[in-house]
Amino acid sequence: MTFTPAITLSDVSKIYSNGTVALKDLNLTVGEGQLVSLLGPSGCGKSTVLRMIAGLGKMTSGSIYWGNGHDQRKLAFVFQEAALMPWATVQENVYLPLKLAGITKRAAASSVAEAIELVDLQGSERCYPRELSGGMKMRVSIARALVTHPEVLLMDEPFGALDEMTRSRLNSDLLDLWNRMHWTIAFVTHNIYEAVYLSNRVVVMAARPGRVIADVVIEAPYPRTEEFRTSPLYNEYCRQISMALSHAASPQAPSLTPSEESADLFDSVA
Amino acid sequence: MSLSNPNSHTQTAPNDRNGVTQSAPVSSFQSLLSAEVIAPVVVGIVMLVIWEVGVRVTNTPPYLLPGPILVVQTLIRDWGELFPSLIITLQITIVAFMAAVVSGLLIAILFTQSKWIERSFFPYAVILQTTPIVAIAPLIILWTRQVISGESSTFVSLVICAWIVAFFPILSNTTLGLNSADHNLINLFQLYKASRWQTLLYLRLPSAMPYFLGGLRISGGLALIGAVVAEFVAGTGGTRSGLAYQILISSFNLQIPRMFAALLLTTVLGIIIFVILTLLSDFLLRNWHESAIKREN
């Protein structure tokens, strides 16, 4: 699969002050306009990868390159919890990034309205977060990320706390938005089905130390319908990634190089 | 509201398709009839009746324990002297409370700007809090007299004493609140390159609001207690004497009913301060904080 790199992580390591090795010599490239999922057990450093990309916290070693005129200013972050300000209405929450950029409420009004419309929350502008369901809070959180017209979207288990129905609804809505906006998305999840359904590529990670053990290209065309979720191809990808994960969980598992592993998996699909 | 009467319609009802809820209107008459209001009123009336009957049956002399009716009669009779004292105490309390709010808030903000400032100065704030005000009030009165002469000297020294007592809950609560902002939101602010000032204004201060208001409620009562205690120590009369002086002088003269009347005024003042601050807190947090939101079951 050929692509123009948007973000390249080169030999990135992160060791926390208590000695925990969160990431060790991690190499990862996210292509322009790709939707790449980082999948792995808890503690494998997948969230840390996003934080490093976002510049929240310093790397111990390694470097991150931004391709093609991108930089950190063009990115937006969606957290696992919606992380809304409880004292502010939906509208004010969505306005926040523009407010911090010094844009007046009047000048931001159309962008805010547009972002709210994109996530289908018209009519709830004046609601407070406590009045919203979990799924709606997440939509607000996504609208807040959209409002700055980012090129890169980093999503840290955004739908992890939601029920299955809400999750699959938001999954297809996200794909729909991605198709229209052409973002580059790095999506952290621990849900195999979600990863396969959404992504161009699924990067499987293992813990202690955090590293990449497989890089699986999901060769299914977009738009992906609900039928895709029940297709044999989908199930085959899920099975392979699941095997890669259990392989990684066994203590003697050797750290395969990404190319080897993905080639293996790819062969068996074909 | 766990105690709400089924007839009082205080529950909120689900509204439109977005699952938005709004409070149903509550008539003030119905809320006065709710069990929450009736229960303590009944207890109060029963206690007062027992007190009055007890005093009459045992023939207790008023200089030991006056009955509630006599206390109210004395309150009405001596209103002309007690009311100006009430105003003086109220003035001291309000000025000290305002000073405590402003200084507590500003110092808390200063503390959260640098861990080192907090580490260096917080222990001294604690010392200020733990030193008994009764013990240092004479010193404060003495020193204030060196700086300011005349009638206002006592007023200023009483304000300082009341401020010392009232200041700490605001400082410690607000400091805690300013440090309690959601970590994801702090990251978000950092991501969008928010300035220190923006983070304070749009994130830390609103996050601290419930804590600050909690401190306010404690502080309001403490300012009054500080004012009364300090005046007991000062013990000065003159035209600008407060309720504590009335209590003190009444007990010297064995005017116990009058002492009770002054005590009653002090208590009522304390309750009014508390109620006002509670209403303020509920009003400011009505849209978002759990403490101000009615439970929906």
Range scoring the smallest mean pLDDT among B48-52, B98-102, B142-146, B217-221? B142-146
Average per-residue pLDDT for chain A? 82
Contact B19 A129 (CB under 8 A): no
- Say yes or no to pLDDT of B96 above 70: yes
B78 contacts B261 by C-beta, under 8 angstroms: yes
Give residue ranges of B with CB < 8 Å to any A CB: 16-21, 182, 184-185, 187-194, 198, 202-203, 206, 209, 287-289, 293
Confidence grade of residue A144 (pLDDT, cut at 50, 70, 90): very high
Could you tell me the two tokens for B25? Answer: 């209107």
A214 contacts A242 by C-beta, under 8 angstroms: no
Would strands A5-15 and A61-66 be described as parallel, antiparallel, or unpaired? Answer: antiparallel
Q: Pick from B182, B191, B203: which is nearest to A56 by CB? A: B191
Q: What is the ipTM of this complex?
A: 0.82
Residue environment code for A104-119, b if the CB has 16+ CB neighbours within 10 A, otherwise e: eeeebeebbeebbebb
Q: Pick from A85, A88, A101: which is nearest to B192 by CB? A: A101
Name the minimum distance, in Å, from the CA of A198 to any CA of chain B: 25
Residue A216: strand pairing partners: A202
CB pairs under 8 A between A and B: 67
Class of domain B76-292: mainly alpha
pLDDT of residue A69: 65
Chain B partners of A86 at a C-beta cutoff of 8 Å?
288-289
Q: What domains can be seen in chain A, in order of their start residue?
A: 1-70+153-172+183-270 (3.40.50.300), 83-150 (no CATH)
Which DSSP string do the residues of B194-247 spell out, in sequence order?
A: --HHHIIIIIIHHHHHHHHHHHHHHHHHHHHHHHHHHHHHH---STT--HHHHH
Give the model confidence (pLDDT) of A219-247 as tens digits: 878 888 878 888 888 888 888 888 888 87
DSSP A127: -
H or E, element range at B169? helix B152-178
pLDDT of residue B296: 57
Domain ranges for chain B: 76-292
pLDDT of residue A13: 86
pLDDT of residue A26: 84
- Say yes or no to pLDDT of B150 above 80: no
pLDDT of residue B237: 58
pTM of the model: 0.79
Confidence grade of residue B20 (pLDDT, cut at 50, 70, 90): very low
pLDDT of residue A92: 93
Would strands A35-39 and A21-31 be described as parallel, antiparallel, or unpaired? Answer: unpaired
Could you tell me the two tokens for A162? Answer: 């939601």
Q: Is the minimum CB–CB distance between A161 and chain B shorter than 8 Å?
A: no
- Say yes or no to pLDDT of B108 above 90: yes
Give the model confidence (pLDDT) of A177-227 as tens digits: 888 888 889 999 988 888 888 888 888 888 777 888 888 888 878 888 878
Chain A partners of B187 at a C-beta cutoff of 8 Å?
51, 54, 56, 77, 79
Contact B187 A99 (CB under 8 A): no
